[in-house]
Structure 1
Amino acid sequence: MNHLILFAHPNPKSFNAAILETTVTSLEGKGHRVVVRDLYKLNFDPILKGTDFEVFQSGRKPADVEVEHDHIQKADVITMIYPIWWSGMPAILKGYIDRVFSYGFAYRYNDEGVPVGLLAGKNGLIINTQGNTTDYYDSIGMTGAVKLTTDTSIFGFCGIEPVDHLFFGAVPTVDDATRQGMLKTLRERLDQLF
Protein backbone atom coordinates (compact mmCIF):
# COMPACT_ATOMS: atom_id res chain seq x y z
CA MET A 1 0.00 0.00 0.00
CA ASN A 2 1.29 3.50 -0.83
CA HIS A 3 1.05 6.05 1.97
CA LEU A 4 1.48 9.80 1.60
CA ILE A 5 2.06 11.70 4.85
CA LEU A 6 1.51 15.45 4.95
CA PHE A 7 3.45 16.67 7.99
CA ALA A 8 3.04 20.20 9.32
CA HIS A 9 5.10 21.08 12.38
CA PRO A 10 8.11 23.42 12.33
CA ASN A 11 10.00 21.81 15.24
CA PRO A 12 11.90 18.61 14.32
CA LYS A 13 12.07 17.75 18.05
CA SER A 14 8.33 18.10 18.65
CA PHE A 15 5.98 15.33 19.74
CA ASN A 16 4.45 15.63 16.27
CA ALA A 17 7.86 14.60 14.91
CA ALA A 18 7.76 11.56 17.21
CA ILE A 19 4.30 10.75 15.85
CA LEU A 20 5.67 11.04 12.32
CA GLU A 21 8.60 8.76 13.09
CA THR A 22 6.33 6.21 14.78
CA THR A 23 3.92 6.25 11.85
CA VAL A 24 6.64 5.82 9.23
CA THR A 25 8.39 3.06 11.19
CA SER A 26 5.13 1.20 11.83
CA LEU A 27 3.98 1.34 8.22
CA GLU A 28 7.33 0.53 6.66
CA GLY A 29 7.72 -2.33 9.16
CA LYS A 30 4.62 -3.89 7.62
CA GLY A 31 5.95 -3.50 4.07
CA HIS A 32 4.09 -0.32 3.10
CA ARG A 33 5.68 2.34 0.91
CA VAL A 34 5.72 5.72 2.67
CA VAL A 35 6.37 9.18 1.22
CA VAL A 36 6.61 12.09 3.67
CA ARG A 37 5.99 15.66 2.56
CA ASP A 38 7.34 17.78 5.45
CA LEU A 39 5.81 21.10 4.46
CA TYR A 40 8.10 23.22 6.63
CA LYS A 41 11.24 21.41 5.50
CA LEU A 42 10.10 21.78 1.89
CA ASN A 43 9.40 25.47 2.50
CA PHE A 44 6.12 24.88 0.68
CA ASP A 45 4.55 28.14 -0.50
CA PRO A 46 1.07 28.11 1.06
CA ILE A 47 -0.16 31.32 -0.56
CA LEU A 48 -2.77 30.85 -3.28
CA LYS A 49 -2.07 33.60 -5.79
CA GLY A 50 -4.09 35.06 -8.62
CA THR A 51 -1.47 33.69 -10.99
CA ASP A 52 -2.25 30.19 -9.70
CA PHE A 53 -5.84 30.61 -10.88
CA GLU A 54 -4.63 31.80 -14.27
CA VAL A 55 -2.36 28.76 -14.64
CA PHE A 56 -5.14 26.36 -13.55
CA GLN A 57 -7.65 27.98 -15.93
CA SER A 58 -5.23 27.58 -18.82
CA GLY A 59 -5.19 23.83 -18.17
CA ARG A 60 -1.72 23.82 -16.66
CA LYS A 61 -0.50 23.59 -13.07
CA PRO A 62 2.10 25.52 -11.08
CA ALA A 63 5.24 23.34 -10.97
CA ASP A 64 5.18 22.86 -7.19
CA VAL A 65 1.51 21.87 -7.27
CA GLU A 66 2.15 19.38 -10.06
CA VAL A 67 4.75 17.63 -7.87
CA GLU A 68 2.19 17.30 -5.04
CA HIS A 69 -0.52 16.09 -7.42
CA ASP A 70 1.82 13.30 -8.51
CA HIS A 71 2.34 12.23 -4.88
CA ILE A 72 -1.40 12.29 -4.19
CA GLN A 73 -2.24 10.32 -7.33
CA LYS A 74 0.16 7.54 -6.33
CA ALA A 75 -1.16 7.35 -2.75
CA ASP A 76 -3.65 4.80 -1.50
CA VAL A 77 -3.74 6.51 1.91
CA ILE A 78 -3.25 10.19 2.72
CA THR A 79 -2.32 10.92 6.33
CA MET A 80 -2.11 14.38 7.83
CA ILE A 81 -0.10 14.88 11.02
CA TYR A 82 -0.30 18.31 12.63
CA PRO A 83 -1.04 20.20 15.85
CA ILE A 84 -4.35 21.97 16.45
CA TRP A 85 -3.53 25.67 16.56
CA TRP A 86 -6.33 28.22 17.10
CA SER A 87 -8.94 25.51 16.53
CA GLY A 88 -7.52 24.47 13.20
CA MET A 89 -4.52 23.36 11.18
CA PRO A 90 -1.27 25.29 10.77
CA ALA A 91 -1.45 27.88 7.99
CA ILE A 92 1.11 26.05 5.86
CA LEU A 93 -1.14 22.97 5.68
CA LYS A 94 -4.27 25.03 5.01
CA GLY A 95 -2.39 26.73 2.19
CA TYR A 96 -1.30 23.35 0.86
CA ILE A 97 -4.93 22.29 0.72
CA ASP A 98 -5.95 25.58 -0.90
CA ARG A 99 -3.36 25.19 -3.65
CA VAL A 100 -3.05 21.42 -4.10
CA PHE A 101 -6.60 20.10 -3.53
CA SER A 102 -7.59 22.12 -6.55
CA TYR A 103 -10.65 22.22 -8.77
CA GLY A 104 -10.37 19.67 -11.57
CA PHE A 105 -7.90 17.58 -9.58
CA ALA A 106 -9.47 16.92 -6.17
CA TYR A 107 -13.06 17.85 -7.02
CA ARG A 108 -15.34 19.28 -9.68
CA TYR A 109 -19.01 20.20 -10.01
CA ASN A 110 -21.41 18.21 -12.18
CA ASP A 111 -23.98 19.76 -14.51
CA GLU A 112 -26.42 20.19 -11.61
CA GLY A 113 -23.81 22.03 -9.54
CA VAL A 114 -23.28 19.13 -7.16
CA PRO A 115 -19.68 18.60 -6.03
CA VAL A 116 -17.98 15.40 -7.15
CA GLY A 117 -14.90 14.15 -5.30
CA LEU A 118 -12.19 13.11 -7.73
CA LEU A 119 -9.97 11.35 -5.19
CA ALA A 120 -12.38 8.47 -4.58
CA GLY A 121 -10.75 5.16 -3.74
CA LYS A 122 -8.23 6.75 -1.39
CA ASN A 123 -8.36 6.55 2.39
CA GLY A 124 -7.55 9.37 4.78
CA LEU A 125 -6.17 9.43 8.31
CA ILE A 126 -5.64 12.49 10.49
CA ILE A 127 -3.46 12.58 13.61
CA ASN A 128 -3.66 15.70 15.77
CA THR A 129 -2.05 16.94 18.93
CA GLN A 130 -3.73 19.50 21.17
CA GLY A 131 -2.67 21.74 24.03
CA ASN A 132 -5.64 20.97 26.24
CA THR A 133 -7.22 17.65 27.18
CA THR A 134 -9.30 15.74 24.68
CA ASP A 135 -12.15 15.66 27.21
CA TYR A 136 -12.16 19.46 27.34
CA TYR A 137 -12.23 19.79 23.54
CA ASP A 138 -14.99 17.18 23.36
CA SER A 139 -17.04 19.12 25.94
CA ILE A 140 -16.87 22.43 24.07
CA GLY A 141 -17.61 20.85 20.69
CA MET A 142 -14.21 21.49 19.15
CA THR A 143 -13.48 17.83 18.43
CA GLY A 144 -16.66 17.59 16.38
CA ALA A 145 -15.95 20.90 14.65
CA VAL A 146 -12.44 19.82 13.67
CA LYS A 147 -13.73 16.51 12.32
CA LEU A 148 -16.45 18.30 10.33
CA THR A 149 -13.90 20.70 8.86
CA THR A 150 -11.31 18.07 7.94
CA ASP A 151 -12.87 14.62 7.67
CA THR A 152 -16.07 15.75 6.00
CA SER A 153 -15.33 19.10 4.36
CA ILE A 154 -11.87 18.28 3.02
CA PHE A 155 -11.43 14.50 2.76
CA GLY A 156 -15.08 13.62 2.16
CA PHE A 157 -15.63 16.53 -0.22
CA CYS A 158 -12.76 15.26 -2.38
CA GLY A 159 -13.97 11.65 -2.28
CA ILE A 160 -11.37 10.44 0.23
CA GLU A 161 -12.76 7.95 2.78
CA PRO A 162 -11.77 8.98 6.33
CA VAL A 163 -10.67 5.84 8.19
CA ASP A 164 -9.88 7.50 11.54
CA HIS A 165 -9.03 10.76 13.26
CA LEU A 166 -6.79 10.47 16.30
CA PHE A 167 -6.51 13.21 18.89
CA PHE A 168 -3.73 13.32 21.47
CA GLY A 169 -4.52 15.93 24.11
CA ALA A 170 -2.61 17.97 26.69
CA VAL A 171 0.66 17.11 24.94
CA PRO A 172 2.68 20.04 26.39
CA THR A 173 1.72 19.24 30.00
CA VAL A 174 1.67 15.44 30.27
CA ASP A 175 4.76 13.47 31.27
CA ASP A 176 6.95 11.40 28.96
CA ALA A 177 5.35 8.15 30.09
CA THR A 178 1.97 9.46 28.98
CA ARG A 179 3.41 10.51 25.63
CA GLN A 180 4.94 7.05 25.20
CA GLY A 181 1.49 5.62 25.90
CA MET A 182 0.10 7.83 23.13
CA LEU A 183 2.69 6.47 20.70
CA LYS A 184 1.77 2.92 21.74
CA THR A 185 -1.90 3.72 21.06
CA LEU A 186 -0.88 5.08 17.66
CA ARG A 187 1.09 1.93 16.77
CA GLU A 188 -1.81 -0.28 17.79
CA ARG A 189 -4.28 1.74 15.73
CA LEU A 190 -2.03 1.70 12.68
CA ASP A 191 -1.74 -2.08 13.01
CA GLN A 192 -5.54 -2.34 13.10
CA LEU A 193 -6.05 -0.04 10.13
CA PHE A 194 -3.27 -1.19 7.83
Structure 2
Amino acid sequence: MNILIVFTHPNHQSLSYSFLQGVLRGCEENHTIKNVQVLDLYDENFNPVLTFGEKKKRRDMYRDADLEKYRNQLSWAEKIIFIYPIWWGRPPAMLLGYIDKMFASGFAYKDNGKLLPEGLLKGKSVVCISVMKGPTLYPMFWLNNAHKVLMRKALFQYVGIKKVKFFEFGNMESAKGKHDKKIERVYKYFQKLNNHSLSS
Protein backbone atom coordinates (compact mmCIF):
# COMPACT_ATOMS: atom_id res chain seq x y z
CA MET A 1 0.00 0.00 0.00
CA ASN A 2 1.41 3.40 -1.02
CA ILE A 3 0.46 6.23 1.32
CA LEU A 4 0.98 9.95 0.73
CA ILE A 5 0.58 12.24 3.75
CA VAL A 6 -0.03 15.91 2.95
CA PHE A 7 0.70 17.83 6.15
CA THR A 8 -0.33 21.47 6.47
CA HIS A 9 0.73 23.40 9.55
CA PRO A 10 3.60 25.89 9.95
CA ASN A 11 4.48 24.80 13.50
CA HIS A 12 6.08 21.45 14.31
CA GLN A 13 5.18 21.97 17.96
CA SER A 14 1.48 21.98 17.04
CA LEU A 15 -1.18 19.44 17.82
CA SER A 16 -1.51 18.78 14.09
CA TYR A 17 2.12 17.67 14.10
CA SER A 18 1.37 15.29 16.99
CA PHE A 19 -1.33 13.72 14.85
CA LEU A 20 1.18 13.36 12.02
CA GLN A 21 3.49 11.49 14.38
CA GLY A 22 0.61 9.24 15.44
CA VAL A 23 -0.17 8.41 11.82
CA LEU A 24 3.50 7.65 11.07
CA ARG A 25 3.80 5.45 14.15
CA GLY A 26 0.72 3.46 13.12
CA CYS A 27 2.03 3.07 9.56
CA GLU A 28 5.44 1.89 10.80
CA GLU A 29 3.80 -0.86 12.87
CA ASN A 30 1.55 -1.99 10.02
CA HIS A 31 3.14 -4.69 7.84
CA THR A 32 0.70 -4.03 4.98
CA ILE A 33 2.01 -0.48 4.57
CA LYS A 34 5.35 -0.58 2.79
CA ASN A 35 5.73 2.90 1.37
CA VAL A 36 4.95 6.26 2.99
CA GLN A 37 5.79 9.71 1.66
CA VAL A 38 5.24 12.89 3.67
CA LEU A 39 4.70 16.20 1.91
CA ASP A 40 5.03 19.02 4.46
CA LEU A 41 3.71 21.99 2.48
CA TYR A 42 5.29 24.64 4.71
CA ASP A 43 8.67 22.90 4.91
CA GLU A 44 8.48 22.42 1.16
CA ASN A 45 7.88 26.17 0.68
CA PHE A 46 5.03 25.20 -1.60
CA ASN A 47 3.71 28.25 -3.43
CA PRO A 48 -0.10 28.15 -3.15
CA VAL A 49 -0.69 31.26 -5.28
CA LEU A 50 -2.21 30.75 -8.73
CA THR A 51 -0.71 33.01 -11.39
CA PHE A 52 -1.94 33.11 -14.98
CA GLY A 53 -1.33 35.34 -17.97
CA GLU A 54 -0.71 35.34 -21.68
CA LYS A 55 2.11 32.79 -21.44
CA LYS A 56 0.70 30.68 -18.62
CA LYS A 57 -2.86 29.44 -19.05
CA ARG A 58 -4.96 27.77 -16.38
CA ARG A 59 -5.99 25.05 -18.82
CA ASP A 60 -2.32 24.02 -19.12
CA MET A 61 -1.71 23.69 -15.38
CA TYR A 62 -1.92 19.88 -15.55
CA ARG A 63 1.42 19.83 -17.37
CA ASP A 64 3.20 22.60 -15.43
CA ALA A 65 6.77 21.34 -15.02
CA ASP A 66 7.09 22.95 -11.59
CA LEU A 67 4.28 20.71 -10.30
CA GLU A 68 5.44 17.43 -11.84
CA LYS A 69 6.89 16.14 -8.56
CA TYR A 70 3.56 16.63 -6.79
CA ARG A 71 1.56 15.08 -9.63
CA ASN A 72 3.82 12.03 -9.45
CA GLN A 73 3.18 11.75 -5.72
CA LEU A 74 -0.59 11.82 -6.19
CA SER A 75 -0.44 9.31 -9.04
CA TRP A 76 1.74 6.98 -6.97
CA ALA A 77 -0.43 7.08 -3.85
CA GLU A 78 -3.21 4.59 -3.24
CA LYS A 79 -4.32 6.37 -0.08
CA ILE A 80 -3.89 10.11 0.54
CA ILE A 81 -3.88 11.44 4.10
CA PHE A 82 -4.53 15.14 4.70
CA ILE A 83 -3.63 16.51 8.15
CA TYR A 84 -4.54 20.15 8.84
CA PRO A 85 -6.25 22.54 11.25
CA ILE A 86 -9.67 24.06 10.63
CA TRP A 87 -9.35 27.84 10.44
CA TRP A 88 -12.50 29.91 9.88
CA GLY A 89 -14.48 26.78 9.12
CA ARG A 90 -12.23 25.51 6.36
CA PRO A 91 -8.70 24.17 5.67
CA PRO A 92 -5.74 26.62 5.63
CA ALA A 93 -5.12 28.70 2.52
CA MET A 94 -1.86 26.79 1.98
CA LEU A 95 -3.76 23.51 1.55
CA LEU A 96 -6.47 25.12 -0.57
CA GLY A 97 -3.74 26.49 -2.84
CA TYR A 98 -2.25 23.01 -3.16
CA ILE A 99 -5.70 21.69 -4.09
CA ASP A 100 -6.23 24.47 -6.64
CA LYS A 101 -2.96 23.63 -8.36
CA MET A 102 -2.87 19.86 -8.12
CA PHE A 103 -6.49 18.83 -8.73
CA ALA A 104 -6.45 20.40 -12.16
CA SER A 105 -8.32 19.59 -15.35
CA GLY A 106 -6.35 17.12 -17.45
CA PHE A 107 -4.80 15.50 -14.39
CA ALA A 108 -7.52 15.03 -11.76
CA TYR A 109 -10.58 15.19 -14.01
CA LYS A 110 -11.60 15.51 -17.64
CA ASP A 111 -14.60 17.35 -19.01
CA ASN A 112 -16.86 15.01 -20.96
CA GLY A 113 -19.86 17.15 -21.84
CA LYS A 114 -21.96 15.70 -19.03
CA LEU A 115 -23.17 17.30 -15.81
CA LEU A 116 -20.14 15.95 -13.93
CA PRO A 117 -16.71 15.36 -15.45
CA GLU A 118 -14.83 12.09 -15.61
CA GLY A 119 -12.76 11.70 -12.45
CA LEU A 120 -9.20 10.65 -13.25
CA LEU A 121 -8.20 9.70 -9.68
CA LYS A 122 -10.56 6.75 -9.36
CA GLY A 123 -9.53 3.87 -7.13
CA LYS A 124 -7.77 6.04 -4.57
CA SER A 125 -9.04 6.70 -1.06
CA VAL A 126 -8.61 9.63 1.31
CA VAL A 127 -8.44 10.24 5.05
CA CYS A 128 -8.85 13.81 6.35
CA ILE A 129 -7.58 14.46 9.88
CA SER A 130 -8.49 17.93 11.12
CA VAL A 131 -8.43 19.76 14.45
CA MET A 132 -10.21 22.91 15.56
CA LYS A 133 -10.72 25.11 18.58
CA GLY A 134 -14.51 24.97 18.51
CA PRO A 135 -16.77 22.09 19.60
CA THR A 136 -16.76 18.94 17.48
CA LEU A 137 -20.39 19.44 16.41
CA TYR A 138 -19.92 23.13 15.59
CA PRO A 139 -19.37 22.59 11.82
CA MET A 140 -22.43 20.35 11.56
CA PHE A 141 -24.96 22.53 13.34
CA TRP A 142 -23.60 26.02 12.74
CA LEU A 143 -21.92 25.69 9.34
CA ASN A 144 -24.16 23.05 7.73
CA ASN A 145 -21.23 20.63 7.61
CA ALA A 146 -19.45 22.94 5.15
CA HIS A 147 -15.99 21.46 5.72
CA LYS A 148 -16.99 17.88 4.93
CA VAL A 149 -19.19 18.93 2.00
CA LEU A 150 -16.32 20.95 0.56
CA MET A 151 -13.84 18.11 0.81
CA ARG A 152 -16.05 15.13 0.02
CA LYS A 153 -18.43 16.46 -2.65
CA ALA A 154 -16.86 19.57 -4.15
CA LEU A 155 -13.40 18.03 -4.39
CA PHE A 156 -12.91 14.29 -3.98
CA GLN A 157 -16.09 12.98 -5.62
CA TYR A 158 -15.54 15.43 -8.46
CA VAL A 159 -12.18 13.81 -9.28
CA GLY A 160 -13.44 10.24 -8.85
CA ILE A 161 -12.45 9.54 -5.22
CA LYS A 162 -15.45 8.04 -3.46
CA LYS A 163 -13.79 6.53 -0.38
CA VAL A 164 -13.30 9.35 2.12
CA LYS A 165 -12.98 9.09 5.90
CA PHE A 166 -12.93 12.03 8.32
CA PHE A 167 -11.38 12.41 11.74
CA GLU A 168 -12.70 15.85 12.73
CA PHE A 169 -11.66 16.72 16.29
CA GLY A 170 -13.01 19.71 18.22
CA ASN A 171 -12.20 21.39 21.54
CA MET A 172 -8.53 20.93 20.76
CA GLU A 173 -7.35 24.07 22.56
CA SER A 174 -9.06 22.97 25.75
CA ALA A 175 -7.39 21.07 28.58
CA LYS A 176 -10.43 18.79 28.39
CA GLY A 177 -9.87 18.04 24.72
CA LYS A 178 -8.69 14.45 25.35
CA HIS A 179 -5.78 15.00 22.99
CA ASP A 180 -3.92 11.81 23.81
CA LYS A 181 -7.00 9.64 23.34
CA LYS A 182 -7.70 11.21 19.95
CA ILE A 183 -4.11 10.77 18.78
CA GLU A 184 -4.25 7.16 19.98
CA ARG A 185 -7.46 6.62 18.00
CA VAL A 186 -5.78 7.79 14.80
CA TYR A 187 -2.65 5.78 15.55
CA LYS A 188 -4.68 2.57 16.02
CA TYR A 189 -6.62 3.18 12.81
CA PHE A 190 -3.42 3.18 10.76
CA GLN A 191 -1.87 0.39 12.78
CA LYS A 192 -4.78 -1.88 11.81
CA LEU A 193 -5.36 -0.57 8.30
CA ASN A 194 -5.17 -3.19 5.54
CA ASN A 195 -5.92 -3.53 1.86
CA HIS A 196 -9.45 -4.65 2.62
CA SER A 197 -10.20 -1.58 4.73
CA LEU A 198 -9.22 1.07 2.19
CA SER A 199 -12.87 2.06 2.07
CA SER A 200 -12.99 2.73 5.83
CA contact (8 A) 2:8 2:95 kept: yes
Q: Which has the higher contact order (CA 8 A, sep 6+)?
A: 2
Q: Deviations over 1:113-154 (max 9, x none)?
A: 531110001001100001111033333245x21111001211
Q: Distance in 2 between matches of 1:96 and 1:118?
A: 17
Q: Could you say if the C-alpha distance between residues 173 and 52 of structure 1 is closer, same or farther in structure 2, counting changes exceeding 3 Å?
A: farther
Does residue 1:182 correspond to 2:182, yes or no? yes
The Cα shift of 1:193 comes to: 4.0
> Equivalent residue of 2:122, what SS?
coil
Gaps of 5+ in 2: 195-200
Q: Could you say if the C-alpha distance between residues 192 and 82 of structure 1 is closer, same or farther in structure 2, counting changes exceeding 3 Å?
A: same
Alignment of 1:1-194 (within 5 A): 1-31=1-31, 32=33, 33-51=35-53, 54=56, 57=59, 61-112=63-114, 114-142=116-144, 144-175=145-176, 178-194=178-194
Return the TM-score normalized by structure 1. Answer: 0.90
Which residue type is aligned with residue 169 of structure 1? G
Return the TM-score normalized by structure 2. Answer: 0.87
Which residue type is aligned with residue 186 of structure 2? L
129-138 or 13-22, which moves further after superposition?
129-138
Q: Could you say if the C-alpha distance between residues 187 and 42 of structure 1 is closer, same or farther in structure 2, counting changes exceeding 3 Å?
A: same
Instruction: Calculate percent identity across the aligned residue pairs.
Output: 32
Gaps of 5+ in 1: none
> Equivalent residue of 1:80, what SS?
strand
The Cα shift of 1:29 comes to: 1.8
Which residue type is aligned with residue 38 of structure 2? V
Number of equivalences: 192
Q: Distance in 2 between matches of 1:90 and 1:9?
A: 8
Which residue type is aligned with residue 149 of structure 1? L
RMSD across aligned positions (CA): 2.2
